[in-house]
Amino acid sequence: MKHIKPLPLALFAAFAMTATGAALAAPDLKVALIAGKTGQLESYAKETETGFMLGLEYLTGGKMEINGRKLKVIVKDDQGKPDLSRTLLAEAYGDDKADIAVGTTSSGAALAMLPVAKEYKKVLIVEPAVADEITGAKWNKYIFRTARNSMQDALAAASTLKNGSVAFLAQDYAFGRDAIKAGKEALAATGSKANVVHEEYAPAAATDFTAPTQRLFDALKDKPQPRVLAIVWAGPNPMNKIADMKPERYGISLAPGGNILPVMKTWKAYAGTEGTINYYYGFPKNKMNDWLVAEHTKRYKAPPDMFTAGGMAAAAAVVAALQKVPSGNGDQMAAAMEGMSFETPKGLMTFRKEDHQALQPMYHFRIKKDQKNEWDLLELVREIPASELPLPVRNKR
């Protein structure tokens, strides 16, 4: 009879440890990123995804893991459609077993996702949708937002308008109407004496602005100076077409909200025009933004845009949350994230305990006259700290 030679004790122990380790290996941490990668806001969505992945890379030192557990990112395209957004988030939490989710691009789509997070008791970090209702009337405890909201935009803009007359042009959908409502409230909240004399809403896909612009001019032309036409627009901005109608004839100045770099690149003819923006790559001075600007420019031959920075901020929140609650338990994570501060390309952000809106600085800019290159577009007038933005709590907690 042939005898089998027993394994050496050390080899057996090593084999046992390997088998045990494999059996006990922690599962991947799963993060769902939902964005409108096709549709009107696809450029915003693509920037968000780029910034999100760069953020995870930076924050994990290139390892793409947290506490030894691999990070798996599940990207889904909701096409900006609310029904699809809702379905994809349910799929992410249910079928994909995502520990946490981030999304989405359109405010309407983001609003549709909020009840799903509550149903599955999982955290949803909203980026980059801005509608106030997200952290207001439609909010629930699993909702956190790294994106700024409409009221933060409005408060920043209002801080630059001390008196005179203001008229608004915005898109005729949730984002535009929310922004103008916030704009009027912000003027009162900041103590501005500027009067709102008119507001116009144009279709989101409009290309001809002649009629609404003339109505805005007529409403402003005889009102007290300064006369400001504030433009709130997502996507290709109508400022050039409005400027072609020569608002200066009536002593009217344009006040564009910040936009993506390819749009602002067309504003060179309006040097000296001022506005406010939530991010411009040359404004924040911190280590994370320095890395983002350098790395993005190296890889993509252009500096990062506002939604790129937003994606990175969302990644920072995800990493901080999973470090605090590695289990991914939604209730524990929601509790741990209340009041949580985390570094972003804009500097330190803090999720306000009351409504989980990230408090953050904004920027007052002036379009540069002497632009050294195609992306040298804005100069900083002033950083507006979060402490100067009296953001109301709108939820019914």
332-389 pLDDT, tens digit each: 999 999 999 999 999 999 999 999 999 999 999 999 999 999 999 999 999 999 999 9
Q: CA separation (Å) from 69 to 52, 95, 323? A: 18, 20, 11
11-42 pLDDT, tens digit each: 444 444 444 444 456 899 999 999 999 988 89
5-17 pLDDT, tens digit each: 554 544 444 444 4
Q: CA separation (Å) from 389 to 176, 268, 299, 380? A: 20, 29, 35, 18
Q: Give the global pTM.
A: 0.88
Tell me the domains of the chain and their CATH numbers: 29-148+284-360 (3.40.50.2300), 151-277+363-388 (3.40.50.2300)
Q: Is the pLDDT of residue 237 over 80?
A: no
Q: What is the pLDDT of the chain when averaged over all its residues?
A: 92
Q: Which value, in Å, is the radius of gyration of the alpha carbons in the chain?
A: 24
Residue scoring higher pLDDT (102 or 232)? 102
Q: How far apart (Å, rounded) are the C-alpha atoms in residues 169 and 212?
A: 8
Look at strands 143-145 and 227-232 and give their pairing.
unpaired
Alpha helices for 245-329 (secondary structure H): 261-264, 287-300, 306-324
